[in-house]
Structure 1
Amino acid sequence: MIGLGLQAISCSSQKNLTTAKLGLNKEFVKTNLEDAHKQINYLASSIQESDIPTTFKDGKYVNWGSSWWCSGFYPGTVLYLYEYTKDEKLLNEAKRKLKHLEKEKNNKGTHDLGFMLYCSFGNALRLTGDSTAYKGVLSTGAASLATRFHEAPKTIRSWDGGKNWDGQPWTYPVIIDNMMNLEFLTEVSKMTGDKRFRDIAIRHANTTMVNHYRKDYSSYHVVDYNPDNGSIISRKTAQGAFDESAWARGQAWGLYGYTMMYRETGEKKYLEQARNIAKFYLNHPNLPKDLIPYWDMDQNKLTKESKYYNQKDLRDVSTAAVTASALLELAQYTKGSESQLYISKAEQMLKSLSSKPYKADYKEAGGYILKHSVGSIPHKTEVDVPLTYADYYYVEALIRYDRMLNGEKVIKQ
């Protein structure tokens, strides 16, 4: 996500800035970040101080509150735009939201504290250097997240309660999304000197690599474990088209997560995992020409009998935004034509995202930047709407690309 810059990065390849050709220019980045700035200012002016935006549907704002897994993305987006524009109003807006979000540092009932706290307070610490205000929140939050790790499954538990689509209660479910919360642990480990956080992240990543991935490097969404001995009870989906499908955003979470784990550890196995995930994703025969994927990469296999058939062709902009950001980082850890491929594909994704029908006009979509994301079709929530995390990773990708144009590292230290 960000990198706090509290210790020299462990991956030596980070210093190997890519020599690949960049196909977008400063004007492209400037135009789209300035448009995002205007949109976010409009969104900020349209909500209450205590509101933490999630989406905009049927002309109304939907704000799910600080305990929702998306609560860190809006302040994180605001902070990225502050980094680019130096607009103090944005910093103040982020701080207003952080006041309402801080209590989640004590939330031990979610695996998503990385999304919630690291995208928000992590960016705030990086940009302001105010360790007094933010270090304690981050360290307490990491300790809360660590309570969800258990020895037998060697993973961080995702959900408490609930049932799978067969009506069976989950036992110890772990979702691929959880790879995105590991950076929080590795960075706080460096910040505090507590090696336990880093160890948990590594063990979770290793277990997920073995148990979540098929031979073609597509990922299952959910692996349900026996918490007593770590054996696998089942491999399922919760948000995909069917259990054996490749739910699109899950593939992006894994790509981003293993690229990040290589940066944090220097372990080549994580780099190889990320490269293989990228190969699966970019070569998928069902990936549209504009590189904005369908919500499930195997949606074409749905029959008319499926309850999702009428929605099978919906795109998920959030997946493309996450993937573009991840590919820009992966390009810096690879060489030659491979690095160029990742950059070129990320550029194509950014060009698509920055055009109609995906990019919103000023004041359209309530002030969200991008349209046409899919939260969860099976849950009938956030279907074909703007989403706060799509905006976050889109802005992050543009910021990363701007750093590349400046000859800087993708990850700001």
Structure 2
Amino acid sequence: MGIFKIGLASLSLAVVLLGCNSTKKETEAPTVDKVLNSSTAKVRDALNSLKTADSFPRTISQDHTKWELVGVRDWCSGFWPGVLWYAYEYSEDEALKEAAEKFTAPLETIAYSPAMDHDIGFQVYCSYGNGYRLTGNPEYKKIMLAAADTLATLYNPIVGTIHSWPSKPQYPHNTIIDNMINLELLFWASKNGGSKKLYDIAVSHAEVSMKYLVRPDYSTYHLGSFDDKTGAFIRGVAHQGYADDSMWARGQTWGIYGFAFSYRETGREDFLQTAIKLSDKFLERLPEDGMPYWDFDDPKIPNAPKDASAAAVAACGLLELSGLVKDANLKAKYFNAAKGFIELLSSEPYLSKDTNQALLLHSTGHHPTNSEIDVPIIYADYYFMEALLKLKKIEENMASS
């Protein structure tokens, strides 16, 4: 999730100096408020058919219009409550707040049950984290601290990382790039009454991920397999990507965002440089239309599916990064790139509008298993809402500075 912090005066200057986009593009692009208004209205409409609090939207199949639902234990369960919290944040609609509370509550069990995988951060931080940020509810804080302790039980000090998927015995100790996002729960907890060990675990996990999941060319492996007894790195694996040496788009963006806020929380220059290099690699490889393919090395390109969710995560990560780098040129580069993704996602080909209940079309989930190909997926909507709200705050502050 991340609370966006940025040197607004220097960013404003950089954007003025270098220019955000062409005048024509600025004129044609819908305003952030317009997109947030329509998105919030769609969230309200979707609520009308979502009555069971422990069933959460995940995807919409081809030729269907309504969300397909999953249970509390699904890794995507926290995103719908998060979308509701974002819609409430924008609208201040008490009905949306009540709905957010309703769909957040069933996830409490995640915090107090044995850890099954690394997704505790996605499940709890996106739901309770946004809820606590907006309401200050002390019960939410208690649950988040418990969730952080539960996530930490997956940490293997020999390897130095959290075991992402204990359910996959073919990889003795596996760590996936997605797990970088879940470190934010640990960083938050260590500052809000949790143990200092939570901070140390997050730092260690980022260090090892940086060493082994980030390749020399600054593309990323999806999964790193380690010997759980010695800590030795065994190999890097694609899993959700096209091939072990390919560049899976969403994985690259998990890395961008995760290393950016890891720098924010630690001040470690190597984390910042990693976020910069991952971002540059991602931007360099974008196709002409600016929307990433699900994997940049799929041989079927240009007939391979796109991944709007990767663009949404990239927008959040690049906005975060633009507020952390000190160089004015880099500030403008990453801000402009993030704004470009938001404008592209807000354009006719990607906004769902009346097509179905989702906000965005054209995401790709797990291509190698033919799962969720070119469909709406809830985490795309979540990060899209987050990016819109971040951009709105930045632009408002720039206008008043």
Structure 2 residue corresponding to 1:355, chosen from 330, 343, 347: 347
The Cα of 1:27 is off from its aligned counterpart by 6.6
| Structure-1 separation of matches of 2:8 and 2:36 | 26
1:153 alignment counterpart: 159
Amino acid of the structure 1 residue aligned with 2:394:
M
Residues 173/193 of structure 1: CA separation in 2 closer, same or farther (3 Å cut): closer
Structure 1 residue corresponding to 2:122, chosen from 108, 115, 130: 115
Structure 2 residue corresponding to 1:18, chosen from 7, 11, 14: 11
Q: Is the 8 A contact 1:376 1:383 kept in 2?
A: yes
Q: Percent identity?
A: 37
| Structure-1 separation of matches of 2:37 and 2:257 | 26
Q: Is the 8 A contact 1:374 1:384 kept in 2?
A: yes
The Cα of 1:291 is off from its aligned counterpart by 1.8
Residues 136/328 of structure 1: CA separation in 2 closer, same or farther (3 Å cut): same
SS in 1 for 2:67: strand
String of CA shifts for 1:270-299, please: whole Å, max 9, x gaps: 111111111111112xx2223210000111
| Structure-2 separation of matches of 1:129 and 1:290 | 42
| Structure-1 separation of matches of 2:166 and 2:57 | 24
1:129 alignment counterpart: 136
Q: Is the 8 A contact 1:17 1:332 kept in 2?
A: no
| Structure-1 separation of matches of 2:344 and 2:30 | 16
| Structure-2 separation of matches of 1:407 and 1:27 | 19
| Structure-1 separation of matches of 2:2 and 2:275 | 18
Amino acid of the structure 2 residue aligned with 1:203:
S
2:99 alignment counterpart: 93
Bigger mean CA deviation after superposition, 252-261 or 372-381: 372-381
Unaligned runs of 5+ residues in structure 2 are none
- Give me the TM-score of the superposition, normalised by structure 1: 0.89
| Structure-1 separation of matches of 2:301 and 2:312 | 24
Amino acid of the structure 2 residue aligned with 1:180:
I
Structure 2 residue corresponding to 1:344, chosen from 317, 336, 340: 336
String of CA shifts for 1:24-61, please: whole Å, max 9, x gaps: 69971100000110111111112222321111114253
2:323 alignment counterpart: 332
Task: Find out whether 1:32 has 2:39 as its counterpart.
Answer: no
| Structure-2 separation of matches of 1:347 and 1:233 | 39
The Cα of 1:197 is off from its aligned counterpart by 0.6
The Cα of 1:310 is off from its aligned counterpart by 9.2
| Structure-2 separation of matches of 1:106 and 1:63 | 23
| Structure-1 separation of matches of 2:37 and 2:189 | 32
- Give me the TM-score of the superposition, normalised by structure 2: 0.91
Residues 151/99 of structure 1: CA separation in 2 closer, same or farther (3 Å cut): same
| Structure-2 separation of matches of 1:17 and 1:91 | 35
Residues 116/14 of structure 1: CA separation in 2 closer, same or farther (3 Å cut): farther
String of CA shifts for 1:331-362, please: whole Å, max 9, x gaps: 11222222111111112111110012111113
Q: Is the 8 A contact 1:16 1:332 kept in 2?
A: no
Unaligned runs of 5+ residues in structure 1 are 164-168, 303-308, 409-413
1:238 alignment counterpart: 239
| Structure-1 separation of matches of 2:88 and 2:116 | 31
The Cα of 1:161 is off from its aligned counterpart by 2.8
1:319 alignment counterpart: 310
| Structure-2 separation of matches of 1:312 and 1:136 | 48
SS in 1 for 2:11: coil
String of CA shifts for 1:313-338, please: whole Å, max 9, x gaps: 10000000000111111111222222
| Structure-2 separation of matches of 1:92 and 1:378 | 39
Amino acid of the structure 2 residue aligned with 1:378:
P
1:203 alignment counterpart: 204
2:294 alignment counterpart: 295
The Cα of 1:15 is off from its aligned counterpart by 7.6
Residues 267/356 of structure 1: CA separation in 2 closer, same or farther (3 Å cut): same
| Structure-2 separation of matches of 1:17 and 1:189 | 30
1:44 alignment counterpart: 47
1:268 alignment counterpart: 269
Amino acid of the structure 1 residue aligned with 2:352:
A
Task: Find out whether 1:374 has 2:361 as its counterpart.
Answer: no
| Structure-1 separation of matches of 2:351 and 2:91 | 20
| Structure-1 separation of matches of 2:288 and 2:45 | 32
Bigger mean CA deviation after superposition, 197-206 or 37-46: 37-46
| Structure-2 separation of matches of 1:62 and 1:55 | 5
The Cα of 1:63 is off from its aligned counterpart by 1.2
The Cα of 1:2 is off from its aligned counterpart by 2.7
SS in 2 for 1:357: coil
Q: CA RMSD in A?
A: 2.1
SS in 2 for 1:46: coil
| Structure-1 separation of matches of 2:301 and 2:69 | 27
The Cα of 1:162 is off from its aligned counterpart by 2.9
Structure 2 residue corresponding to 1:386, chosen from 361, 366, 376: 376
Amino acid of the structure 2 residue aligned with 1:125:
Y
| Structure-2 separation of matches of 1:48 and 1:56 | 17
| Structure-2 separation of matches of 1:345 and 1:324 | 7
SS in 2 for 1:293: coil
| Structure-2 separation of matches of 1:88 and 1:103 | 25
| Structure-2 separation of matches of 1:311 and 1:388 | 25
